[in-house]
Amino acid sequence: MVDSLNRGIRFRDPEGNTTYVDLDSRNNVVARYDAVAGLGLIPFEDPCLGTTDNLVSNLRGNGVFTFFDGANRPWMTRYEMHLGGTGTSPLDTSNPFIPSGIFETVTERDANSRLSKRIDGMGNITSFNHDLFNRKTGRTHADGGSRSWSFDLDHQLTGSTDENGSEHAFENDAIGRRLSHIITPAATIIGGTAFPMLIGSTEQTWQYNGRSQITRCTDNNDPADPDDDAIVICTPDSLGRWVHEEQDGNSGIPLQGGAGSGDVSWGYSSDDLAQFIYPDGREIFIGSDDHDQFSFLFDDLFRYTECLMGDCCCDAAKTTWETFDDVSGNFEETYRETQTLDANQLPLSTTLTSTSGAIEGGFSIDGRRGDLQVTACSQNYGSTATGGPTLQFNTLNLDSLDRTEVIGTDDSLGNFQVQFVTTGAAQAIRNIEGFGSGPSGSVDIFRDLPRDEVHQIDLPEYQQDGSPGNGNRTADAEHYYQWDGFNRLRTVISRATLAVIASYRYDAHPAIFGGRRIEKTITNSPIAGLDGTTHFYYDGA
């Protein structure tokens, strides 16, 4: 629906959920209200028929209000939390973290309209510095932790200092491509120990082809051991599609399967991925439909097929699993999954059946609130062929912090209700009705640990590196954790024995920020048979 200036003020989805928007004279959105359950009637004059009718619309839910200054810049946002999520109800004052039912965030800018401060709903201030070229050069958190950046005359990032005090140096080529990232880690130890807080990689490098695609990248992992460097070599075809990647290529590392075992390859049909070869030589074939959407996948032992149950690319799907039968020489269907969608093309139900027709499991969405959050769902598990399935029904409610309260019934476990409660700074998940043979009544089945003002666990044995609220955990009640300058976990140390129980290696591939995990080594495990090394390879998906 639009107002007299032809501006959208009410938006209704196919299920009839209405979101309200208010605008000021400068067309700024100054208020937005959630859609909630409960219906109201809005008089509407039909210009074609000349008659008046009533439109059915959701009531206004919780409101978000934005305030603008004279230069049209937003400077404050106010969030109102009402009982039941209905805007006409009184404010929800039961949450001790938001006792008024209202919280506000404030943004301050300097004379050049650059962001200078952000103040959250708890009054914590984050401040920012800029240089004469309007580049952000510094950020200071409410707890005093800070980060800084420096640039060259081409406005390329050349260095930074993080919250730990580690120095980062960047090298770029003439067209702005990153060539290397070198870290000088801060000489800091984990409190109460002799363990360095930061270990591992200090250098990553990248090389490119003429199309600016990465063709080689390296990560030195342990700087003292050249044999553990991770080298990735990438090969595209003439159309820029990746056709081969040598992962973890370093002759000093005995990979599973010997030389070349880290190679992965891709093949294409038109522009669609059609073939993938794993490091162990396993070959997967992939097909797409006329909409260029995934259709099937198979190898010599297994076939997976997904097809649409209609002509539209957003129709519900039917999925089948088939295995190869050595006797018939054909693929035989073992399971079929059928999906249904609602008017918004959102999942409504899924049913899994076996070849015999027995229902093996499934789920259904039994209710959504105005913003499409699920409010009720049911699931079943166990085959009808063996007397099942077991049905579990859940009612889901969200509190003012969007935490889920679950009220459920399970055929085998009985009634249960789980909700979040708050006592001071501690939070708990409380079992209200009891879960099966477990505790009944008002019993806390899990208690979160007390938190500080930036929501981190506030106990002496828990430590974080860098700026609280932005740092990595370096200690808890059972372990010490060492990280590298790329914020990647390197080792886990038992607090009781001071022995390393897990260590990790990474590459420098940009598919994941900081690089992909390529190796995990478990040692000194108290569980028999768990020690060993696992290598990870990636298919580019």
**Would 59 be classed as within a structural domain?**
yes
Q: Are 180 and 204 in contact (CB under 8 A)?
A: yes
Q: Are 296 and 305 in contact (CB under 8 A)?
A: yes
**Would 458 be classed as within a structural domain?**
no
Q: How many domains does the chain have?
A: 1
Q: Are 22 and 59 in contact (CB under 8 A)?
A: no
Burial state string for 197-219 with b = 16 or more CB within 10 A and e = fewer than 16: bbbbbbbbbbebeeeeebebbbb
Q: Is 176 helix (H, G, I), strand (E, B) or coil?
A: coil
**Can you name the residues that pair with 23 across neighbouring β-strands?**
29
pLDDT the model gives residue 331: 85
**Would 449 be classed as within a structural domain?**
no
How far apart (Å, rounded) are the C-alpha atoms in residues 318 and 310? 10
pLDDT the model gives residue 91: 92
**Would 75 be classed as within a structural domain?**
yes
Q: Are 159 and 149 in contact (CB under 8 A)?
A: yes
How far apart (Å, rounded) are the C-alpha atoms in residues 299 and 304? 9
**CB atoms < 10 A from the CB of 176, how many?**
11
Assess whether the previous peptide bond of 389 is cis (omega < 30° from 0).
yes
How far apart (Å, rounded) are the C-alpha atoms in residues 368 and 15? 10
380 HSE (CA, 13 A, CB side): 19
**Would 72 be classed as within a structural domain?**
yes
How far apart (Å, rounded) are the C-alpha atoms in residues 179 and 278? 29
**Would 295 be classed as within a structural domain?**
no
How far apart (Å, rounded) are the C-alpha atoms in residues 146 and 129? 11
Range of the domain at 28: 1-123
E strands in 188-282:
203-208, 214-219, 230-236, 242-246, 263-269, 272-277
* 10-residue averages of pLDDT along the chain (541 residues): 87 75 94 71 55 60 92 94 84 84 94 93 91 95 89 95 94 96 94 93 96 95 91 93 84 44 86 88 88 85 76 66 84 86 81 80 78 73 62 62 57 52 47 43 48 66 67 87 94 94 94 92 86 88 58
Which tokens in the block code for residue 284? 């997967």
**Would 439 be classed as within a structural domain?**
no
pLDDT the model gives residue 57: 52
Counting other chains too, the contacts that 338-345 makes at CB distance below 8 Å and 24 or more residues apart are 338/309, 339/309, 340/316, 341/314, 341/315, 341/316, 342/15, 343/14, 343/15, 344/13, 344/14, 344/15, 344/372, 345/314
Which tokens in the block code for residue 235? 């090969």
What sign has the CA pseudo-torsion 232, 235, 241, 247? negative
**Would 81 be classed as within a structural domain?**
yes
- Give the distance from CA 462 to its chain's centroid: 24
Cα dist from 48 to 51, 56, 105, 354, whole Å: 8, 19, 45, 54
Q: What are phi and psi of 84, to 5 degrees?
A: 70, 5
Instruction: For residue 329, give the nearest of 371, 301, 362, 305 by alpha carbon.
Output: 301
Q: Is the pTM of this model over 0.95?
A: no
pLDDT the model gives residue 366: 80
